[in-house]
Amino acid sequence: MTSSQNMAAEGKAPFVVMVKPVGSRCNMRCRYCYYLGADNVMPAPFSSALPAAGTGAASTPSSSARVMSYALLERFISDYVASVPGPVVSFTWHGGEPTLAGLDFYREAVRLEKKYLPEGWECWNSLQTNGLLLDDEWCDFIAAEHFDVGISIDGTEAVHDANRLDVGGTGTWDRVMAAVGRLKARGVLPDLLCTVNHASAGNGAAVYRALRDLGTGWIQFIPIVIEGEKSGLSIPPGEYGEFLVDAFAEWFYHDLGRGEVQLFSETAMMLNGKEASLCWLQKKCGKVLVVEADGGVYACDHFVRQDHLIGALGTEKAADDPSGEHRQETAEAGSLPLLRTLADSGFQREFGARKETELTGQCRECPYLELCHGGCIKDRTAKSLKGESGHNILCPGLYRYFDYAVPRLRRAMALSAAGKKPQEIMQICIREEREKYRKIQRNDPCPCGSGKKYKQCCMKRVP
């Protein structure tokens, strides 16, 4: 049996690797980007053992020293295929802007995937991109090789162009829209990844409608949280909650069953007793490693820094414990592949467990704990109501969203269980919502408990 077949037989847990073939390099200058210029070059002894870009079995498709070499690409693909239980191997290409590696880089990646994929297995490629380089040749390749694509777009033109600028400081909305059109013309429906930032505040319904009208079927909202920032680019926690509620109301009363919004779908799934698939909603994390352009392997996309460097492809070894405690992991000849070793390492397990073990008392007592599990640990930069450090800064917004969405989703689920179709469910819920607010006057306190007047709160959401 191969090592992968052995892992499948032993029930080894799957994990995902996010690959960044050009590191943080990007052809845009988004105002809120936390990653541009944040590459961590591996310290000795790891970096000295790696093949330099442009060396190895084949040259890299760029003169930049920050593009993963073909030799290192092959090392990654062979190790990753041998590390996962299969029979599906997921490759996630990220950045920076991963298309800067060049189209030939991905042609080579596909060739290598086919070379190392065991018989009967299949691979899934996902490319996360800003879309600026997706011309006809790129889109033909994506369609032919069945790549899934995630395109970053912040909704309406005004909201998008407030922050998503090219290197010359010009808005990019029209070019992103053109890329979406080229993909759709070839039958590729990209996922739409939308950041929620200061420009999004008060625009939840409009942003949702703009993304819905693109007709791709999948929307993901990603809050911008910049620790210690003074620029005001982050979404304030309260505004984040109102954004989600506005978007949810628009989706729930007009588009139920029509398209999917990731957070709304995940909430419904958890209310049905299933585990969330989104890492920041799970009880534990640590199942998504990051491989940088120089082969450095990090614990998480949000912790690409030296204290979370857990290993390096090309060196056949893992890093000393980033926490400073005594630990050394190595992948010796004949043992498990390096990425499998790193995914199962003590440091990575402890990193993932922190999500549960470091919850504040406020989180542990929260009625929605089982739905968010304290959120992403990168966002635990606030104090709880009792002054505990390490509380999620987005907590007020998430609480507001759950408070609004959960009872409505439960009602929809009950109606669905009774045999009602989405259109019928919407009609019933609209009648019930109108009746709930029928006697409320504009200047009355809103029944939702927000403390605002009805005209400043839920009045705009009543269908």
Q: Give SS3 for 193.
A: strand
Q: Which long-range contacts (CB under 8 A, 24 or more apart) does 173-179 make?
A: 175/131, 175/132, 176/130, 176/131, 176/132, 176/151, 176/152, 177/153, 177/214, 179/131, 179/132, 179/134, 179/139, 179/151
DSSP 453: B
Tokens of 277: 């698939």
Name every residue whose Cβ is closer than 8 Å to that of residue 422 and which is 6 or more positions away in sequence.
256, 257, 258
Residue 192 Cα to chain centre, angstroms: 11
Name every residue whose Cβ is closer than 8 Å to that of residue 442 and which is 6 or more positions away in sequence.
453, 454, 455, 459
Q: How far apart are alpha carbons 89 and 86 in whole angstroms? A: 6
Residue 301 annotated to the active site: yes
**Given the residues 166, 301, 344, 403, the one annotated as active site:** 301
How many Cβ atoms are within 10 Å of 48's Cβ, its own excluded? 9
Strands (E), 96-190: 122-129, 148-152
Catalytic residues: 301
